[in-house]
């Protein structure tokens, strides 16, 4: 056993220090054997006899080499949540109408700013995806939008993360079933996977996880003035909205992975282009499928773009109003959920395109290499 342990630790050192020597060795050595070593390392981590030693060596390698794993090692406490004092809901003790300066004094600076479907920006706040929330502000730097999928929800009605749908409806009543935009009524809640409420001058979308007994998995709160300013359910297509949807889907995916004890994914620009091309192809040619009109699979498209991978997966979504709705829908689909919660994946690129009606197509390409 001692010899086996030594051999496995040697493999681990070779594999984890790969970024330090790969560039120099590649012109002279066929490195395909490293894929097999990667599999050995993964198997080693499943063995209870060696797992502690493996983790110890990994930590030492990372400390002297400067190479960090994708594991979220930051220990972050959940904030103490107070009952809202001016609204029915708060997120991380933030309520609609709060000043941006007060928000950032409480929770810090944003990690990302990107355009959303309301024509304003989502500011993403988190600590390596712990305590994740997104906030939008009006022209006076007052909060006019909130979203979270983490245990940051507080309510005067006793609603929080993991509250059953039956409790939500018992406490809040029947949800809104339609919303008017101009001369058009849009039907809401067709899937029963989320409820809309018009409460305290806000539109509240409460999302449920069908795989967790229809309990609350996320909430979005939008000020009614901001909702009224959106003339249709789909925002006008633009380059900034496309990029915004891409990064928002990436962030909410990582926020979900962290909740399930999984390593956060690294953004990959190259596979983002593969994903964008497929979304654009579907939007232009009016189809929705993993296999394109040339008969190419996601794996074919990745290989054509020169992306090397040991494992890969693809998620598609179409027609959802935003990346938030797309993600929550994907999590309620067993196959898509499996990709989102796949431990073997380490990289993700998201590509968005719009059809002639400004309806978005979303492609997520996950992979490991």
**For residue 168, what pLDDT is reported?**
97
**For residue 48, what pLDDT is reported?**
47
pLDDT tens for 180-205 read 877 777 777 677 899 999 999 999 99
pLDDT of 9 higher than 60: no
pLDDT of 257 higher than 50: yes
SS3 at position 224: helix
Q: Are strands 121-127 and 130-137 parallel, antiparallel or unpaired?
A: antiparallel
Domains contained in the chain, CATH given: 1-63 (no CATH), 89-229 (3.40.33.10), 239-368 (3.40.33.10)
Residue with more model confidence, 195 or 50: 195
pLDDT of 247 higher than 60: yes
When pLDDT is averaged across residues 29-45 and rounded to a whole number, the result is 55
**For residue 251, what pLDDT is reported?**
98
Q: How confident is the model at residue 365 (pLDDT cuts 50, 70, 90)?
A: very high
Ramachandran bin of 261, using left for φ above 0, alpha for ψ from -120 to 50, beta for the remaining angles: left
When pLDDT is averaged across residues 298-309 and rounded to a whole number, the result is 96
Length of the chain, in residues: 369
One-character DSSP codes across 320-335: -SSHHHHHHHHHTSHH
Dihedral (CA of 283, 285, 288, 293) sign: negative
The candidate with the shortest Cα–Cα distance to 268, out of 317, 206, 316, 312, is 312
Mean pLDDT of the chain: 86
Q: How confident is the model at residue 76 (pLDDT cuts 50, 70, 90)?
A: confident
Q: At what angle do helices 51-65 and 33-44 cross, to 10 degrees?
A: 120
- Which range is most confident: 5-14, 73-82, 217-226? 217-226
Distance linking the first and last C-alpha atoms of the chain: 30
When pLDDT is averaged across residues 297-314 and rounded to a whole number, the result is 97
| Separation between Cα atoms, residue 298 and residue 202, nearest integer Å | 41
CB neighbour class for 23 (10 Å; exposed up to 12, middle 13-18, buried from 19)? exposed
Helix (H) or strand (E) holding 203: strand 202-209
Tokens 């030693």 found at: 53
Residue with more model confidence, 198 or 13: 198
**For residue 139, what pLDDT is reported?**
96
Q: How confident is the model at residue 64 (pLDDT cuts 50, 70, 90)?
A: very low
When pLDDT is averaged across residues 163-176 and rounded to a whole number, the result is 95
When pLDDT is averaged across residues 197-216 and rounded to a whole number, the result is 95
pLDDT tens for 336-359 read 999 999 999 999 999 999 999 999
Least confident of 4-8, 59-63, 240-244, 250-254: 59-63
pLDDT of 23 higher than 90: no
Could you give phi then psi for residue 364, rounded to 5 degrees? Answer: -110, 125
How many of the other CB atoms lie within 10 Å of CB of 118? 18
Tokens 């339609």 found at: 178
When pLDDT is averaged across residues 233-252 and rounded to a whole number, the result is 96
């Amino acid at each position: 056993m001692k010899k086996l342990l030594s051999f496995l630790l040697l493999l681990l050192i070779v594999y984890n220090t790969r970024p330090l020597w790969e560039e120099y060795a590649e012109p002279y050595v066929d490195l395909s054997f490293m894929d097999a070593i990667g599999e050995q390392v993964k198997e080693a981590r499943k063995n209870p006899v060696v797992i502690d030693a493996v983790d110890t060596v990994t930590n030492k390698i990372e400390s002297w080499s400067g190479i960090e794993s994708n594991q979220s090692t930051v220990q972050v406490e959940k904030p103490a949540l107070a009952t809202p004092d001016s609204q029915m809901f708060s997120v991380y003790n933030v309520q609609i109408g709060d000043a941006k300066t007060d928000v950032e004094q409480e929770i810090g600076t944003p990690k990302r700013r990107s355009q959303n479907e309301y024509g304003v920006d989502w500011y993403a706040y988190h600590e390596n995806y712990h305590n994740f929330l997104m906030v939008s502000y009006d022209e006076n730097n007052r909060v006019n939008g909130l979203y979270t999928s983490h245990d940051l929800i507080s309510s005067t009605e006793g609603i929080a993360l993991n509250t059953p749908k039956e409790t939500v409806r018992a406490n809040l009543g029947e949800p809104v079933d339609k919303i008017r935009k101009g001369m058009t009524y849009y039907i809401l809640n067709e899937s029963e996977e989320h409820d809309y409420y018009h409460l305290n001058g806000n539109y509240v979308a409460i999302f449920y996880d069908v795989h967790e007994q229809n309990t609350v998995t996320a909430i979005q709160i939008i000020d009614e003035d901001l909702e009224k300013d959106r003339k249709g359910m789909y925002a006008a297509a633009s380059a900034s909205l496309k990029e915004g949807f891409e990064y928002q889907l990436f962030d909410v995916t990582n926020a979900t992975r962290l909740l399930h004890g999984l390593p956060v994914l690294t953004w990959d620009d190259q596979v983002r282009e593969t994903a964008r091309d497929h979304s654009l192809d579907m939007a232009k040619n009016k189809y929705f499928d993993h296999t394109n009109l040339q008969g190419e699979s996601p794996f074919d498209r990745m290989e054509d773009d020169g992306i090397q991978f040991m494992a890969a997966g693809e998620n598609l979504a179409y027609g959802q109003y935003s990346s938030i709705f797309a993600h929550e829908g994907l999590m309620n689909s067993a196959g898509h959920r499996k990709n989102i919660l796949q431990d073997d994946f380490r990289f993700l690129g998201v590509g968005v395109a719009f059809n002639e009606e400004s309806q978005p197509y979303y492609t997520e390409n996950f992979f490991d290499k």
